[in-house]
């Protein structure tokens, strides 16, 4: 190894301190928000003078917040399912195909990862207006699918590359039709890839703001949009409670993803 940690002498204390500072810089705002969501000050005083659950009560009794959370969840779930299905089909073509222009097609699929999101948002908004699906559930799903799909394709084609095609051939000679072989043998063998594709697609949609700003209508909002909108009107601790819920689901899914990756290695 180029840099041996144990041979750094007292430098390693300095290094440790820098790491701790960076971690604090990243984590403190999140912990701050979580703390505020349980504080009983209307004016978001820190440290909170007392503790309460009333912001959560308010959150859960307000149908507008519930609607937004439910919309977010539905959009993210549909995006996750669709991006796994499309990601699998695209990966089959990209990994197994022998046609010309395969590298180009791969680049094309992954392009939304490097495109400025605002540009993407404006282009999609214009197109959706023209198609008449701006501000609809379908519009939300399609927009989020565009940015989730590259991640799904990366996860699934990675898993597919590690899967020996001879195993699928063996299933076919055993009497399974090509699609039956893919469903009964290939899919279960790359399930860790499908699973991480689903989780990441869900998360990408779940906390996405830029595209959602363009897609949202007064009747249809996702949770991040509702947080953002409410924030501009008044600074209520309910926002902190909603943010905490967003974070909670994200963390839960990340933990799940970490576990599936660990399961795969065993």
Partner 1 sequence: MTTPFLHINGIRKTFGDVVATDHVELKIAEGEFMTFLGPSGSGKSTTLYILAGFQEPTAGDILLRGKTLLKTPSHKRNIGMVFQRYTLFPHLSVGENVAFPLRVRRTPADEVQRRVKRALELARLQGFEDRMPANMSGGQQQRVALARALVYDPPVLLMDEPLSALDKKLREEIQHEIRRIHQETGVTILYVTHDQEEALRLSDRIAVFNKGRIEQVGTGPQLYNSPASHFVADFVGDSAFLTAEFTRASGGTADLRFADGTEVRGVPLHGADPKGRAELMLRPERIRLVPQPGAGPSLPVTIADITFLGNVTSILARTSWGEEVGIRLPFGHPMASGLAPGAQTQIEWDAASAHAFAARAH
Interface residue list for partner 1 (CB under 8 A)? 164, 166-167, 169-178, 180-181, 184-185, 188-189, 191
Q: Which residues contact 61 (CB under 8 A, 6 or more apart)?
A: none
Confirm if 160 and 91 have CB atoms less than 8 A apart: yes
Q: Which residue, 57 or 180, has its beta carbon nearer to partner 1?
A: 180
Minimum CB–partner distance for residue 262 and partner 1 (Å):
16
Minimum CB–partner distance for residue 152 and partner 1 (Å):
21
* Cα 168 from Cα 174, distance rounded (Å): 10
Q: Which residue, 57 or 169, has its beta carbon nearer to partner 1?
A: 169
* Cα 148 from Cα 136, distance rounded (Å): 18
Nearest to 36 by CA among 244, 231, 254: 244
Minimum CB–partner distance for residue 83 and partner 1 (Å):
23
Q: Which residue, 51 or 179, has its beta carbon nearer to partner 1?
A: 179
Token pair belonging to 172: 């076919």
Minimum CB–partner distance for residue 221 and partner 1 (Å):
41
Q: Which residue, 171 or 240, has its beta carbon nearer to partner 1?
A: 171
Q: Which residues contact 147 (CB under 8 A, 6 or more apart)?
A: 112, 113, 117, 120, 204, 208, 211
């Amino acid at each position: 190894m180029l840099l041996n940690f144990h041979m750094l002498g007292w430098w390693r204390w300095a290094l440790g301190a820098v790491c701790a500072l960076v971690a604090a810089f990243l984590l403190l705002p999140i912990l701050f928000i979580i703390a505020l969501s349980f504080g009983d000050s209307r004016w978001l005083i820190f440290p909170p003078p007392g503790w309460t659950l009333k912001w959560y009560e308010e959150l859960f009794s307000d149908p507008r917040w519930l609607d937004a959370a439910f919309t977010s969840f539905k959009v993210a779930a549909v995006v996750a399912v669709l991006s796994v299905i499309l990601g699998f089909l695209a990966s089959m073509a990209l990994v197994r195909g022998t046609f010309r222009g395969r590298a180009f097609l791969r680049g094309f699929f992954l392009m939304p990862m490097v495109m400025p999101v605002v540009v993407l948002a404006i282009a999609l908004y214009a197109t959706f207006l023209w198609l008449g699906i701006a501000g609809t559930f379908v519009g939300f799903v399609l927009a989020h699918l565009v940015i989730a799909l590259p991640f799904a394709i990366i996860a699934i084609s990675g898993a597919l590359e590690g899967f020996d095609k001879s195993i699928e051939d063996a299933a076919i000679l055993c009497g399974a039709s090509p699609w039956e072989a893919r469903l009964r043998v290939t899919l279960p063998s790359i399930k860790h890839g499908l699973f991480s594709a689903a989780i990441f697609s869900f998360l990408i949609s779940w906390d996405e703001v830029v595209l959602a700003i363009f897609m949202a209508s007064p009747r249809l909002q996702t949770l991040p949009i509702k947080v953002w909108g409410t924030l501009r009107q008044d600074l209520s601790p309910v926002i902190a409670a909603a943010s905490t819920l967003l974070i909670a689901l994200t963390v839960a899914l990340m933990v799940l993803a970490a576990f599936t990756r660990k399961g795969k290695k065993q």
